[in-house]
Amino acid sequence: MDPNALPEWIAGLQQRAPEFSDTYLAQRQRILADGAIPAKYKILMTMLVDALMAHPEGVAAIADRARAAGASEAEITETVEVAYLFGGTPALVTATNAFRTSA
């Protein structure tokens, strides 16, 4: 899995609404870039949200993106713990998909 790959759903958006897709992707790139909050922490935030929203494949893919952005395994593990704290056991089960690696 390419850690820089876009989510699969974006391909459909690009095909059906290319202008909107371009706008969305530009915003996404700007928002997730290094700023006051480093990019790796923003990516960990998205992993947390995917865990809370019960998206196991998203958690696994985003964890790989976080690793590629420099997140340590300890940071990923603590994000899984935060997911559990705020989402309970269902979020914990989903969040453990962060431990899957494509390597």
- Kindly report the pTM of this predicted structure: 0.83
- Return the half-sphere exposure (C-beta side, CA atoms, 13 A cut-off) of residue 4: 5
Tokens for 52? 């809370």
pLDDT at 3: 53
pLDDT at 8: 81
Q: 46-85: per-residue pLDDT in tens? A: 999 999 999 999 999 999 999 999 999 999 999 999 999 9
Using the predicted structure, report yes or no on whether residue 103 has a pLDDT greater than 70: no
Domain coordinates in residue numbering, the chain: 7-35, 37-103
